[in-house]
Amino acid sequence: MRTPATFKRNCAGTTFLETAFAVGLLSVFIAILLTVGSNLLGLLRSSQANIAANQVLHERSELIHSANWLQLTDASFLSTEFMSFDAESISELAKPVETITVSAYPAKAGMVTQVIRKNGGVTVVTSNPLLKNERMVRVDFSVDWQGAPKNRARSRMTTCLVSRAGSNKQ
């Protein structure tokens, strides 16, 4: 039969092993929590950028709807008035590039006007003054930026059809 003195001697090392095992288990749990937390922060940054890009598209779409037919089909108006300023939400995006493309609808070869805003400068890529004679145009507006995770290229785009009769003024 074991006496209390021999029992204490045999169990004396197990508390150290139990404590070491508990500390190791706690370390693994904390490491998992930190990994999940960092992934969630990346997801939040990505979501914030997506919301900002959607807001930029919404702001530009409102401007499209307020433009008259001649303004909408004129490359110089699009570059000097429409795209000459930053949208309010653009500051939340890294390296943003805004592109507006106005093309004949249904599509016709060469009937495209495209304007790009990048680094605060506006460039007319293509222009066709004959767009004003069309009955309907397709307006594509896109925002490209570098976003989380790992600064990969991200993009959002919206499209609307505008008819000459449906615009605010001729």
Looking at the domain assignment, is residue 2 inside a domain?
Answer: no
Looking at the domain assignment, is residue 28 inside a domain?
Answer: yes
Q: Is-contact 142 99, C-beta < 8 A?
A: yes
Looking at the domain assignment, is residue 51 inside a domain?
Answer: yes
Looking at the domain assignment, is residue 1 inside a domain?
Answer: no
Looking at the domain assignment, is residue 139 inside a domain?
Answer: yes
Q: How many domains does the chain divide into?
A: 1
Give the burial class of 66: count Cβ atoms within 10 A of its Cβ; 0-12 exposed, 13-18 middle, 19 or more buried: exposed
What's the order of all strands across the beta sheet hosting 136-147? Answer: 121-126, 112-118, 94-104, 136-147, 152-163
- What is the pTM (predicted TM-score) of this model? 0.75
Write out the chain's pLDDT in tens, 170 residues. 556 655 555 555 568 888 889 999 999 999 999 888 888 888 888 888 999 999 999 998 888 888 888 888 888 898 888 888 888 888 888 899 999 999 998 888 888 999 999 988 899 998 888 888 899 999 999 999 998 777 889 999 999 998 887 665 55
Looking at the domain assignment, is residue 169 inside a domain?
Answer: no
Tell me, what's the pLDDT at 36? 84
Tell me, what's the pLDDT at 2? 59
Looking at the domain assignment, is residue 154 inside a domain?
Answer: yes
Looking at the domain assignment, is residue 24 inside a domain?
Answer: yes
Tell me, what's the pLDDT at 29? 92
Tell me, what's the pLDDT at 168? 56
Q: Domain of 128?
A: 10-163
